Structure 1
Amino acid sequence: MSRHKAPGKSARKGISLFELQELFPNEEAAREWFEGIIWPNGPQCPHCDSHDARPCKNLKPMPYRCGSCRKHYSVKTDTLMHGSPLPLLKWVYAIYLDCASLKGVASMKLYRELGITQKTAWFMQQRIREAFADQGPPVLMRGPVEVDETYVGGKARNMHYAQRKQLTGRGGVDKTAVVGAKDRKTNRVAAEVVQQTDRATLQGFVFDHTEKEAEIYTDSSSAYKGLPNHSSV
């Protein structure tokens, strides 16, 4: 697929608040989503970059303990959520509300919508703004870039049967697909909810977020076949 034939962002619609609630019915769904986006290749220690993750019983004191440096960590560690006791689900909604507002979400709105204190709402607002400010204007990933889909949330009830059937065998039966990309050099990430995991949708996402010469690494899905500088791992 040539780059000029890829569907633009306008061809892939955002999600409504109702759809968000179906995507993230509980804390576990939020954790699965954050982990799938931040760690596309599985849990990775933010202290030493090791993949030797040891799950902790009852997720305490944190969900993982590194087998290499022996430090505990979670998907919040060294992210905008670092040190926050708030549930991941509230961070999902805060980020959604900010992205859904043209000028960014006001702390008073977070205070009202999430049932948190004004001080906590201001803290979340500042963290989210800092995270987006760090990204600056949209910059295409130079790579190497890892691209993968993850499946999160409750049943994709609003998805057409043919589209739901398409997810069978890809790990997403009765769940919603999210495609994500991570630049190995900069650790920049991008993610998008998709209704289909077909060639046009997934390759369109890649074209939107990566430079033409970037090396792309994906799984063996045929949907990625034909991408330039592409390798399956």
Structure 2
Amino acid sequence: MSVLSSPHFHDEKVAYAYVEARIWPQGPVCPHCGGVDRIGLMGGKSTRVGLYKCYQCRKPFTVKIGTIFEDSKVPLRIWLQAMFLIAGSKKGISSNQLHRTLGVTLKTAWFMSHRIREAMRDGSPDMFGGNGGRVEVDETYIGYNPRVQKKPGKGGSAHKLRVVALIDRDSGAARSMPANSLVRDEVAQIVRANIAKEAKLTTDESRLYSAVGKEYASHDWTTHGRGEYVRGDVTTNTVEGFFSIFKRGMRGIYQHCHENHLHRYLAEFDFRYSNRVALGYNDADRADILLSGIVGKRLTYQTTRGAVA
């Protein structure tokens, strides 16, 4: 039977129960006062699905309050379908495809996609390489910045968007972020903020890392200019493999990304890479992990409407 035949993708009551079981594993929690006692499920023919009332603060609520679903008119079962499709598509799925598949407007599909990407954002304070393992770091350019150049150029990198990515070899997790400018000080700040001092820093021969590399247990690099890509366990092939997936998705699926949204697209590719099949996760696992990130990450249309991706 197809995974998409599961009841929570088709029945609204089951969809609410599915989300509640993962957001409230110990039972309903009032998002207004934080109460857990004296909460009742409201009934009646005119009562909407999943509506509770807290008899401590006297306010009604659903599991959607305080999440990426808040104030959305899209049925929760459609949200779950969208989350499964985005979490399970290795290189992403376009808003046009979601619009056709889910039967929502293109504008709604685009906004849903960004809300789901917001839920994919990690925000974890954990440092990579905390157990003394290797952490690969590399940088790349993609797309173009319309503030610098009105139309895409054929050569050079001055007009492109800049990205720095890190891969923790031990956990297999990826963490990438936009960089305003690939200069030594900015890259050093990114490295210091995300990699523990006991880690083995691994890069290519770029001079961006020569100074900050001295702050770590070791700094090893390969010299691509001489055709050296692997030396023992010293290589940046893993992070370059991540960039390969990212660029294929951005060029082949999304085709264009405004700089205002780049951090959310990066979060999407980080999420799927950090929860990939090679680490023991399947599509359903990723969708469930994604659900655990929906709380406290509400994104309004006013935040996104300034730029079109």
Given the two structures, how large is their TM-score scaled by the length of structure 1?
0.48
> Please, what TM-score do these two structures have when normalized by structure 2?
0.37
